[in-house]
Amino acid sequence: RSGRAWNSSKLSDLDGCLNFGPLVDCKKLHGRILKMGLDKEQVLCDKLIDVYVALGDLDATLKVFGDMLDRNVASWNNMISVFLAKKLTSEVFGLHTRMMVEDVSPNDRTFTCVLRACTGKNVAFDYVEEILRRLTEDDVVCWTAMIAEYTQNDLFSESLKLFREMLNRAIQSDNIGLSSACAGIQTLDQGRKIHAQSFVSGLSNDLSIGNALVNLHSISGRIDEAYLAFETIDSKDIISWNGLISGFKQSGFCEEALQVFAQMTRAGVEPNLFTVGSAVSAAANIANRKQGKQMHSLIIKTGYDSETEISNVLITLYAKSGSIDDARREFSDMPEKTEVSWNALITGYSQHGCGLEALNLFEKMKQLGVMPNHVTFVGVLSACSHVGLVNEGLNCFESMTKEHGLVPKPEHCACVVDLLCWAGSLSRALEFIEKMTIEPDAMIWRTLISAWTVQKNLEIGEFAANHLLELEPKDSATYVLSNLYAVTGKWDRRDQTRKLMKDRGVKKEPSCHGSKFWTQIFRREGTKFTLSLSRSLQRPK
């Protein structure tokens, strides 16, 4: 029989092995091929590789490939596909390199396999982008994979750049590409463009894109747009709800965050740790003890009461809502405490004027080997200031650098200034400011000015107000300076100050620090989500 006939016969036999035969049959047939001298036939070798790959024998596959005299692009692609399927990415890149060394021109299938192997933190992005652009036919899967890879490596600008290039090439984006391009992008202009593209692509209702847009608008502080993006999602999951709850909380709308949380639980969506943490944090921010108790009951019911992060927020919640005993009890019941736990109770003691308790807890914290940080010292120094423990506060401040190697920040210096001022030592406070190793900021001078309102020291009050105005010319501290001159009978200087205020456009701040009338009513009928929000909100700074 002719070689061509034997070739065709063995191909048919190999096809039988591929469909029905066990590995032993394939190896017997391979042996006969070797005896007949047909092992150099490229078509037979390619088919042998297919069969061994299908039967899972990598060693035999490699031997057939290595013994081939004439390997064309299909042969190389077969082996690259094998390594890709086995997730042996280094071998994929190695074969691609050897292929080019042997002067075999890769085709689109080669490039696609290499691109799909590009995962993990050690991706050579320049190399991969070059391969991507050499594709003769634009493959949406490859482009999307590369965009997602950039996003997973926190290279958000590069992700967006590649997404734009993809659109310029008229490649129809899919949901993964859009959501990857959305991830981490924090500018509204970019977000809106991607949002518009989702409508063009018919993917505006896609869950992953909707969630990405809710997070985008929430991060940007555009809570109304975050809500509208949330409403476009037909089948909301826990990520959708978490994004909106977190967005309301971060924008200062804590009551609304709790309303959305309540709607979520009524909708039968099970909260996770992030949801509970956001809701408890929102309750802590509005310092509502009743809501705090309700949240605590829910936490116990959902089994998150053993989570350290949740207990930390509960301590803050109880302390802010006036129940330091509940805060202390929650702290005592914690099986594990972090420095955040200690800081939360120390800060709570400070807020309640329990200076000695804060100091005692601080000492116990150190005895147990928990290292204090900058937040710890703000709490301790504030506690000393509230109850007039001057020496203790000064010793604590000095220990930051000497014992703990912490460089004091402006907030620590402001605590010391406050401590000295309210102890009646304005001159010592001013001396402390002049000896500070860091430049006094506006917070320092405001602290000194607030003490003047009680002690009426014209020289120091004027000195502090002038320094504050140098830093922030439009600060309403000029009103304090104007009042200072009025109290001391210096009417000419008061009039000069009023004129200066008028020239600079300084306006007295209202008692609420800015407000925004946020009124939106969103309704869905039947079983769909219903939320009515219509109220005037005070947005905190």
Q: How far apart are CA 37 and CA 264, in angstroms?
A: 72
Q: Which residues, at least 6 apart from 112, have a Cβ–Cβ distance to it below 8 Å?
A: 135, 139, 141, 142
Tens of pLDDT, residues 525-535: 333 343 434 33
Number of domains in the chain: 1
Block residue for tokens 């320094």: 467
Q: Is residue 466 part of a domain?
A: yes
Q: Is residue 443 part of a domain?
A: yes
Q: Is residue 485 part of a domain?
A: yes
pLDDT at 527: 34
Q: Is residue 156 part of a domain?
A: no
Q: Which of 39-48, 154-163, 218-227 has the highest mean pLDDT?
A: 218-227
Q: Is residue 469 part of a domain?
A: yes
Tens of pLDDT, residues 138-185: 556 666 666 666 666 666 566 666 666 665 666 555 444 444 445 444
Predicted confidence band of residue 469 (pLDDT cuts 50, 70, 90): confident
What is the mean predicted confidence (pLDDT) over 188-202? 55
For the cut 90, the answer to whether the pLDDT of residue 377 exceeds it is: yes
Q: Is residue 69 part of a domain?
A: no
pLDDT at 194: 55
| Apex 415 CA angle, 464 and 380, nearest 5 | 175
pLDDT higher for 537 or 457?
Answer: 457
Q: Is residue 442 part of a domain?
A: yes
Q: How far apart are CA 77 and CA 92, in angstroms?
A: 10
Half-sphere exposure of 516 (CA within 13 A, CB side): 13
- Domain range holding 496? 427-509
Neighbours of 310 (CB within 10 A): 21
pLDDT at 235: 86
Beta-ladder partners of 537 = 516
Q: Is residue 344 part of a domain?
A: no
pLDDT at 400: 93
CATH number (domain holding residue 441) = 1.25.40
pTM greater than the 0.75 cutoff: no
Least confident of 14-23, 68-77, 281-290: 14-23
Q: Which H or E element spans position 436?
A: none
Least confident of 45-54, 95-104, 195-204, 320-329: 195-204
Helices (H), 368-437: 374-387, 390-402, 410-422, 426-434
